[in-house]
Amino acid sequence: MNPQARRWKCVCAYDGTDYSGWQSQVSGNAIQDLIEGALEETLGNPSRIHGSGRTDAGVHAKGQVFHFDASWKHGGESLRKALCTRLPQDIRVLDARVCPSSFHARISAKGKRYLYRAIEGSASPMEFRYWASLPVHRLDLDAMRMAATVLVGERDFSSFSASSGDSCDENPVKNLWQLDVRRTGKRLKIQVEGSGFLYKMVRSLCGALFDVGRGRLEVHQVKEILDAKKRTSLVVTAAPQGLCLEKVFYRKVKFRR
């Protein structure tokens, strides 16, 4: 790290529909690639950014966090604006501020909040990017909430993760604080909060809850699947477009803008 460099913490939002996900890809069509490109243009030299975690292709974020080291001499607001002018409209940097060099977007994270949006029926042309469509019949919310109580708590979530090359060493025990199902008319929202999430865990939890709501899975089966600590074909991953990373939680530290 350049001795004049400081660590920057940024919050960003994006519509993931047209991207291959957060993590850098050979194709260069990942959100990380675009932000690193904008950063290189702004700073005049390449800089690697570190996100709080990946989001899959098609998944959105309102509060993704990343950090990087750079010797930018101006303020956070001018850095934020400089990045925004170099990014497409569906990726926005919402905040940029100097943080302690001990801060790490992924390692320092204490938890995350996700929101999953689904419509019973077809999503309109203005909705299909942000709402998953569920086959038209009314889901059993009571059953879904019952299944949610089985899943909340400190548990081994191996059954609700998909294997991925680089996270095989990750501890599968996570603390799920909240799995809250709400309905307004034909719109369902599932708010998910926890200490951390395995690969595709949120979408797998939501997929299981939808199947409980449809009567394809019984609540006791959800308990059995969880206890088996092994993914089975009974667990379906819900569609990516319904998912949004709402917020990443950190211990309160004073940051300077």
Between 15 and 33, CB nearer to a copy of itself: 15
Q: Which of 122, 149, 164, 175 binds a copy of itself (CB under 8 A)?
A: 122
Q: Which of 50, 92, 104, 186 binds a copy of itself (CB under 8 A)?
A: 92
Does residue 46 bind a copy of itself (CB under 8 A)?
no
Q: Which of 2, 4, 85, 124 binds a copy of itself (CB under 8 A)?
A: 124
Between 133 and 158, CB nearer to a copy of itself: 133
**Helix H or strand E segment including 167:** none
Does residue 15 bind a copy of itself (CB under 8 A)?
yes
C-beta neighbour count of 151 within 10 angstroms: 20
Does residue 91 bind a copy of itself (CB under 8 A)?
yes
Does residue 184 bind a copy of itself (CB under 8 A)?
no
CB of 250 to a copy of itself, least distance (A): 22
CA angle 166, 170, 174 (to 5 degrees): 140
Tell which positions 59-78 bind a copy of itself, by CB under 8 A.
60, 62
C-beta separation of 96 from 6 below 8 A? no
CB contact set of 180 (below 8 Å; sequence gap of 6+): 148, 190, 191, 192
Cite the active site residues: 56
Give dist(CA 207, CA 203) in Å, integer.
6
Q: Which of 104, 130, 140, 183 binds a copy of itself (CB under 8 A)?
A: 130
DSSP single-letter state for residue 18: G
Distances (CA, A) of 129 to 38, 55, 239, 241: 25, 15, 11, 6
Q: Count CA atoms closer than 13 A to 248's CA, side-chain side.
A: 25
Residues that bind a copy of itself (CB under 8 A): 13-15, 60, 62, 89-92, 122, 124-126, 128-130
